[in-house]
């Protein structure tokens, strides 16, 4: 068997809950965990991974053209431990003979969608603050933890693919909400079956009580919410984001939080991860930040890890690979 060296990049969960995934990889070759800064230069990343020919990669860092151009020993396989691949230059990967695979979208669908709703509810009903009050023997403060009902509200879904459609279903059938969706590729039959309205972005922003961001990140969705969009929103809107931080202009968001346009923002994603207590969003009283844990459900992590291990096993045994993007 060829001498395989496998690098697991920036993943705090791979192999932790399902050690058999690591054991199977160790039967193939040397396995080593690496943690890099999110914005490590491509050349520096290539030098650090020069001896490794298989990578299992998290959402960061970026495997860009500079990385592939400076990777002298070919990278044979890059298996993304997730469903997105915007941190991989798939064109450069293909030019250098690297196969790039991802986790099938359905593996993460329920876990991420449920967390979008969970974080939103915790934000609206001030769950974290009220629990802290109890722990501090301040039960008497309970009247200050005032929220709103989600039932019957107008919910706007920006990005209604694999995960966004599940978020929409939960709000529609669990909360009897009116659903507005923005997505150029939305499944019209699905929308009609669920009595969900396909609208333009401006209409959604003007009418939604709650907005859920579930779009993939690309050149058309980057900063899809910036100052002009916040100016259209109803005063007191809530936003939940389990997709990508870059969908929102952070400065515009902070202004909207401070002027009351946005009543609260729940996010599982940040521009810089990890983020710390001095970050303006982390310390903002109207913001709930979780550390990119939307996929942290047992079923989801097991499925993600299994797919990556199968990618490696199939590759070394010359078997067909699934969910190949390059």
Of the CA atoms within 13 Å of residue 322, those in its CB half-sphere come to: 12
**Positions marked catalytic:** 244, 273, 292
Question: What CA–CA distances, in Å, run from 71 to 39, 59, 91?
Answer: 17, 20, 15
Query: Count of residues for the chain?
Result: 326
Of the CA atoms within 13 Å of residue 32, those in its CB half-sphere come to: 13
As a whole number of angstroms, the distance between CA 96 and CA 181 comes to 39
The rounded Cα 63 to chain-centroid distance in angstroms is 18
Helix (H, G, I), strand (E, B) or coil at 184: coil
As a whole number of angstroms, the distance between CA 88 and CA 139 comes to 49
Name the packing angle between helices 105-124 and 162-175 (round to 10°): 50
Q: Which two tokens stand for residue 242?
A: 């389990």
Whether the Cβ atoms of residue 247 and residue 225 lie closer than 8 Å to each other: yes
Whether the Cβ atoms of residue 169 and residue 194 lie closer than 8 Å to each other: yes
Whether the Cβ atoms of residue 286 and residue 266 lie closer than 8 Å to each other: no
Edge-to-edge strands of the sheet including 99-101? 29-34, 4-9, 54-57, 77-80, 99-101
6: how many CB neighbours lie within 10 A of its CB?
A: 22
Contacts of 275 (CB under 8 A, 6+ apart): 281, 282, 289
As a whole number of angstroms, the distance between CA 161 and CA 80 comes to 19
Whether the Cβ atoms of residue 77 and residue 32 lie closer than 8 Å to each other: no
């Amino acid at each position: 068997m060829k001498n395989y060296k496998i690098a697991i990049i920036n993943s705090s969960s791979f192999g932790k809950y399902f050690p058999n995934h690591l054991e199977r990889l160790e039967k193939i070759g040397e396995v080593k965990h690496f943690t890099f800064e999110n914005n490590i230069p491509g050349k520096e990343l290539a030098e650090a991974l020069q001896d490794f020919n298989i990578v299992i990669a998290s959402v960061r860092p970026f495997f860009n053209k500079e990385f592939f151009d400076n990777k002298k020993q070919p990278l044979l396989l890059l298996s993304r431990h997730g469903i997105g691949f915007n941190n991989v230059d798939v064109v450069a990967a293909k030019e250098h003979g690297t196969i790039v695979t991802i986790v099938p979208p359905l593996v993460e669908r329920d876990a991420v969608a449920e967390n979008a709703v969970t974080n939103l509810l915790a934000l609206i009903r001030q769950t974290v603050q009220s629990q802290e009050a109890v722990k501090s023997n301040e039960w008497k403060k309970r009247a200050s933890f005032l929220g709103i009902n989600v039932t019957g509200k107008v919910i706007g879904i920006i990005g209604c693919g694999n995960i966004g459609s599940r978020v929409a279903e939960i709000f529609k059938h669990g909360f009897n909400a009116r659903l507005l969706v923005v997505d150029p590729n939305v499944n019209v039959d699905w929308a009609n079956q669920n009595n969900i309205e396909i609208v333009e972005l401006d209409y959604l922003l003007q009418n939604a009580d709650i907005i859920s961001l579930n779009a993939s990140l690309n050149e058309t969705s980057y900063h899809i919410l910036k100052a002009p969009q916040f100016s259209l929103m109803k005063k007191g809107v809530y936003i939940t984001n389990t997709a990508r931080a870059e969908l929102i202009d952070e400065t515009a968001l902070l202004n909207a939080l401070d002027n009351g346009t946005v009543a609260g923002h729940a996010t599982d994603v940040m521009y810089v991860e990890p983020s710390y207590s001095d970050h303006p969003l982390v310390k903002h009283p109207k913001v709930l930040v979780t550390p990119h844990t939307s996929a942290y459900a047992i079923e989801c992590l097991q499925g993600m890890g299994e797919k990556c291990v199968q990618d490696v096993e199939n590759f070394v045994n010359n078997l067909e690979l699934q969910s190949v993007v390059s």
